[in-house]
C-alpha cells in the first residue's frame, strides 16, 4: 500500500518523506525497472528476479557514484577535455552491471563503487586544476567509505525524487541508458567505440544529479536517448557484421550430439568467438542458449564443426534446462536466473563481463580483452554429454541485409496482397503465464501476415509450424534484441520503396513484449524514428507514472494489450 502511494499519489512531500523513511528504516528496497515488478508496482522486500535488498542498495549507491563521475566528465567535455577510456569504460560497465538479471554478486558491485569514488575524485581534481566550477551536488561532495555505504545507499535510490512524473521520466531515461550501455559495451569489445555516445550518457546522468530539467525537458531528453539508441544499435550492427559477416538464412539444430558440451548464454559475440577458437580440436562441442542463438546466423562462425546448435529455450527456463545440459554454462551478459539451493549445475556456472553470481567462478579479461577458457574446457571434458530435450531445426537470419536481398520478392508479395500485414513481435520473453498471449496471437494470425521478430520474445512462437508465403517464412527472425535495429531499417526501406511520407502508413503493427532495460532503449529508439501506436505487454511499465503514461498515450499512441481476439480486431488483422 505504501508503494502504491509513492508511485501514484499526490500526497504532500512531508508525507512522502515519512513513507520513504519507513522503507529505509526497515532496510527495504524499491525497484521497478523490469516487467516483473511485484504487483505491477515495485519490488520492496526482494526482487522477483532474485536480487536481495542489500544488493539492490549497493546498485543504488553505484548509480549515485556513476552520476557523480558523469557530472565532472560532462563539465570537462564542455570545456574541451574528452573523457578518458577508463571513465567511459567505468560508466558503461556500471550501467550494464545494474541491468535486470545481470549481476547478483554484491561484492563485485561494491568493488565498482570503490573504483568509482577514486575515479570521481581524480576527475574532480582535474577540473579544479583547470579552474572549472563544479556544482554543489551530493554526488560530488560525499566522501564515504565501506563503513557507511549501507546507510548512504538507503537515501540515493529511486525514491530520492518525490515528484512522481519527474521520477518516472528520470527512470525512463536511466533505463534507456542502461540498454544503451549494454549495446555499446558489445561494440567496444569488438573495437568499435563512439565518443559521442559516451558524452551523451555522461550528460544525461549529469542532468539527473543536477535536477534542473522540467517535465517537458525530461521528455525531450527521453526522445534524444532514443536517437542515441538508434546510433548505438547501428554501431553494434556495423561491429558485428564487419567482424563476422552479414547474418544469413540458417537452419539451426536444436538436438544434441554425444560429445561433452559447453553452453554459452547472453549476447556477446566476442566471447563466443574466443570460446569457439579455444575449444577447436578439444572434442568439446559448443551450444548456444537463449539470446546467443543468432550467433549461428553469422558466416564467420559456420566454419567451426563443433558449433553444434542451440539448446533449450528462453532465459527463464534455465533451471530445468541447465540441469539436463550436464556441462558448464558461460554467461556473457544478463539473463541469469538464480539457481535454487539444491541446483545440480551451480558449480558449473561461469560469469563474465558485467555479470556475476555469488559462489560462481568469474572469467576475467586480460589487457587485450580476451579470456582464458581453459578451466571451462577442462570441466566440460569431465561432464556427460547433454541430454537431448528436443529435436529438429529452427530458421533464422533475417537481418536487414538478408531481407533487403529478398526485397523484390517481399514487395511483390505486398503488392499482390499475398502479404497483407507485418507484425513486429520483437522484445523479451518471460515467466508470466500471461505471456502465452504471444503464442496464441501468432497461432491465430491469418496466413497473409508475417511476423518480424528479434530478441528472446521469438521463443514464444519460433518453433511453431506457421509455414511460409510464396517461400517467405511467416516468422522472420532478425536476431538478438539489439537487432531490432534491423527491423527499423527494413521498415524505413519499405517506406522508401512504396513512396510513403510517414513510416506509420506502412502495413506494420507493433505488438512488442518487454521485460528489461534493453527493451526500453529499443522502445525509445522506435519513438525517436516516429513510430506510433506501439502496444507493450504483457503489462505496461510500473515506472510510468499516470502523468507520463498519459503523455505517451496522447503523443505516441502507446498502449497495452487486451485479449488476442480483441487485439486482432483492434489491429484490423481479422
**The three grid cell numbers given for residue 56, joined into one nine-digit string:** 539492490
Q: Which residue has the higher pLDDT, 300 or 2?
A: 300
Predicted pLDDT at 4 = 46
Alpha-carbon distance 92 to 466, whole Å?
40
* Residue 511: pLDDT band with limits 50, 70, 90: very high
Q: What are the backbone dihedrals phi and psi of residue 568, each rounded to the nearest 5 degrees, phi first? A: -60, -35
Say how far residue 436 (Cα) sits from the centre of its chain: 21
Q: Residues 339, 349: contact at Cβ < 8 Å?
A: yes
Better-predicted residue by pLDDT, 335 or 10: 335
The pLDDT of residue 574 is 87
Residue 82, SS3? Answer: coil
User: Is 120:372 a contact under the CB 8 Å cutoff?
Assistant: no
Angle between helices 106-129 and 53-78 (to 10 degrees): 20
Give the Cα separation of 439 and 421 in Å (integer): 18
Helices (H) and strands (E) in the chain, counts: 20, 15
- Work out the average pLDDT over 347-366: 97
Matching residue, cell 512531508: 14
Residue 312 CA: distances (Å) to CA of 193, 318, 349, 430, 452:
33, 8, 16, 14, 21
On whether the CB atoms of residues 288 and 275 are closer than 8 A, the answer is no
**How much is the pLDDT for 99?**
98
- Beta strands 449-453 and 468-469 are unpaired
**CA pair distance 446, 436, nearest whole angstrom:** 18
Q: What is the 3-state secondary structure (H, E, C) of 285-297?
A: EEEEEHHHHHHHH
- What's the mean pLDDT in 115-126? 98
The residues pairing with 351 across neighbouring beta strands, listed in sequence order, are 331, 362
Cα distance between residue 6 and residue 13, in whole Å:
10
Res. 133: pLDDT tops 50: yes
Quick count: other Cβ atoms within 10 Å of Cβ 120? 25
SS3 261: strand
Q: Give the C-alpha distances (Å, rounded to integers) separating 519 from 102, 512, 553.
A: 15, 9, 18
Distance between alpha carbon 172 and the CA centroid of its chain, in Å? Answer: 14
For 15-35, what is each residue's pLDDT tens digit? 433 444 455 455 579 999 999
Place of cell 506509420: 504
Q: Tell me the C-alpha distance between 447 and 436, whole Å.
A: 20
Please, are residues 414 and 403 in contact by the beta-carbon 8 Å criterion?
no
How do 472-473 and 475-477 pair as beta strands? unpaired
Query: Looking at residues 209-218, what average pLDDT do you find?
Result: 96
Q: Are 399 and 427 in contact (CB under 8 A)?
A: no
What's the pLDDT score for residue 28?
Answer: 78
> Which pLDDT score, from 0 to 100, does residue 1 have?
45
- φ, ψ for residue 115, nearest 5 deg: -65, -40
Percentage of the chain modeled with pLDDT above 90: 94
C-alpha span between 313 and 41 (Å, rounded): 28
- Rounded to an integer, the average pLDDT of 512-530 is 97
> Residue 269: which pLDDT band, with cuts at 50, 70 and 90?
very high
- Tens-place pLDDT, residues 546-573: 999 999 999 999 999 999 999 999 999 9
Q: How many whole angstroms separate alpha carbon 416 and alpha carbon 406?
A: 16
Give the per-residue pLDDT at 27: 54
β-strand partners of 559 = 535
Query: How long, in residues, is the chain?
Result: 574
Mean pLDDT of 266-292: 98
Average pLDDT value for residue range 485-499: 94
What pLDDT was estimated at residue 15? 45
Could you list the beta-strand ranges (E) of 212-306: 250-253, 261-265, 285-289
Do residues 509 and 424 make contact, with C-beta atoms less than 8 angstroms apart?
yes
> Average pLDDT in the 342-369 region?
96
Average pLDDT over residues 253-257: 98
| Residues 298 and 245 sit within 8 Å (Cβ to Cβ) | yes
Q: How far apart are CA 406 and CA 202, in angstroms?
A: 41
Average model confidence (pLDDT) for the chain?
94
- Decide if 176 contacts 518 (C-beta within 8 A): no
Q: Do 477 and 395 meet the contact criterion of CB atoms below 8 Å apart?
A: yes
CA distance 303 to 312: 23
* pLDDT for res 20: 44
> For residue 132, what pLDDT is reported?
98
What confidence score (pLDDT) does residue 136 get?
A: 96
Span 83-106, average pLDDT: 98
- Taking only Cα atoms into account, the Rg of the chain, rounded to an integer number of angstroms, comes to 23
Residues of the chain with pLDDT > 70, as a percent, come to: 95
Amino acid at each position: 500500500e505504501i508503494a502504491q502511494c509513492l508511485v501514484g499519489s499526490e500526497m504532500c512531500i512531508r508525507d512522502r518523506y515519512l513513507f520513504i523513511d519507513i522503507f529505509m528504516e526497515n532496510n527495504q528496497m524499491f525497484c521497478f525497472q523490469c516487467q516483473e515488478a511485484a504487483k505491477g508496482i515495485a519490488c520492496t522486500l526482494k526482487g522477483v528476479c532474485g536480487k536481495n535488498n542489500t544488493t539492490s542498495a549497493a546498485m543504488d549507491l553505484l548509480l549515485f557514484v556513476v552520476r557523480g563521475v558523469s557530472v565532472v566528465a560532462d563539465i570537462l567535455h564542455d570545456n574541451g577535455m574528452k573523457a578518458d577510456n577508463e571513465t567511459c569504460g567505468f560508466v558503461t560497465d556500471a550501467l550494464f552491471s545494474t541491468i535486470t538479471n545481470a549481476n547478483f554478486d554484491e561484492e563485485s558491485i561494491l568493488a565498482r563503487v570503490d573504483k568509482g569514488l577514486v575515479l570521481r575524485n581524480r576527475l574532480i581534481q582535474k577540473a579544479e586544476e583547470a579552474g572549472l566550477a563544479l556544482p554543489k551536488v551530493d554526488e560530488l561532495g560525499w566522501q564515504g567509505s565501506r563503513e557507511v555505504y549501507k546507510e548512504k545507499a538507503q537515501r540515493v535510490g529511486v525514491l530520492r525524487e518525490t515528484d512522481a512524473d519527474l521520477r518516472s521520466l528520470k527512470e525512463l531515461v536511466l533505463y534507456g541508458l542502461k540498454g544503451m550501455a549494454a549495446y555499446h559495451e558489445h561494440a567496444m569489445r569488438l573495437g568499435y567505440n563512439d565518443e559521442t555516445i559516451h558524452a551523451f550518457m555522461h550528460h544525461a546522468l549529469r542532468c539527473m544529479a543536477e535536477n534542473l530539467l522540467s517535465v517537458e525537458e525530461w521528455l525531450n531528453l527521453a526522445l534524444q536517448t532514443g536517437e542515441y539508441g538508434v546510433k548505438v544499435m547501428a554501431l553494434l550492427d556495423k561491429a558485428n557484421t564487419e567482424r563476422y559477416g552479414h547474418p544469413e538464412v540458417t537452419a539451426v539444430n536444436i538436438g544434441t550430439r554425444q560429445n561433452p558440451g559447453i553452453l554459452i548464454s547472453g549476447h556477446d559475440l566476442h566471447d563466443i568467438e574466443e570460446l569457439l577458437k579455444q575449444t577447436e580440436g578439444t572434442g568439446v562441442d559448443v551450444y548456444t542458449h537463449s539470446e546467443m542463438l543468432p550467433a549461428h546466423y553469422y558466416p564467420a562462425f559456420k566454419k567451426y564443426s563443433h558449433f553444434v546448435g542451440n539448446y533449450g529455450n528462453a532465459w527463464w527456463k534455465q533451471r530445468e534446462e541447465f540441469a539436463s545440459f550436464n556441462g558448464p554454462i558461460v554467461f556473457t551478459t544478463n539473463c541469469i536466473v538464480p539457481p535454487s539451493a539444491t541446483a545440480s549445475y551451480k558449480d558449473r556456472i561461469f560469469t563474465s563481463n558485467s555479470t556475476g553470481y555469488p559462489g560462481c567462478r568469474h572469467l576475467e579479461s586480460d589487457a587485450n580483452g580476451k579470456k582464458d577458457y581453459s578451466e571451462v574446457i577442462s570441466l566440460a571434458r569431465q561432464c556427460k554429454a547433454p541430454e537431448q530435450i528436443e529435436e529438429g531445426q529452427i530458421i533464422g537470419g533475417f537481418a536487414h541485409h538478408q531481407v533487403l536481398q529478398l526485397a523484390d520478392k517481399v514487395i511483390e508479395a505486398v503488392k499482390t496482397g499475398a502479404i497483407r500485414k507485418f507484425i513486429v513481435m520483437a522484445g523479451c520473453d518471460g515467466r508470466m503465464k500471461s505471456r502465452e498471449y504471444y503464442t496464441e496471437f501468432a497461432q491465430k494470425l491469418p496466413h497473409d501476415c508475417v511476423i518480424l521478430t528479434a530478441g528472446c520474445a521469438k521463443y514464444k512462437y519460433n518453433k511453431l509450424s506457421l509455414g511460409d508465403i510464396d517461400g517467405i517464412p511467416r516468422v522472420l527472425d532478425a536476431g538478438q534484441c539489439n537487432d531490432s535495429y534491423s527491423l527499423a531499417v527494413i521498415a524505413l526501406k519499405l517506406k522508401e520503396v512504396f513512396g510513403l511520407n510517414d513510416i506509420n502508413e506502412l502495413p506494420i503493427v507493433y505488438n512488442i513484449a518487454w521485460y528489461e532495460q534493453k527493451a526500453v532503449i529499443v522502445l525509445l529508439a522506435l519513438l525517436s524514428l516516429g513510430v506510433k501506436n506501439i502496444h507493450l505487454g504483457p503489462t505496461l511499465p510500473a515506472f510510468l507514472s499516470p502523468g507520463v503514461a498519459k503523455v505517451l498515450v496522447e503523443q505516441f499512441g502507446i498502449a497495452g494489450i487486451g485479449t488476442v481476439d480483441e487485439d486482432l480486431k483492434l489491429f484490423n488483422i481479422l
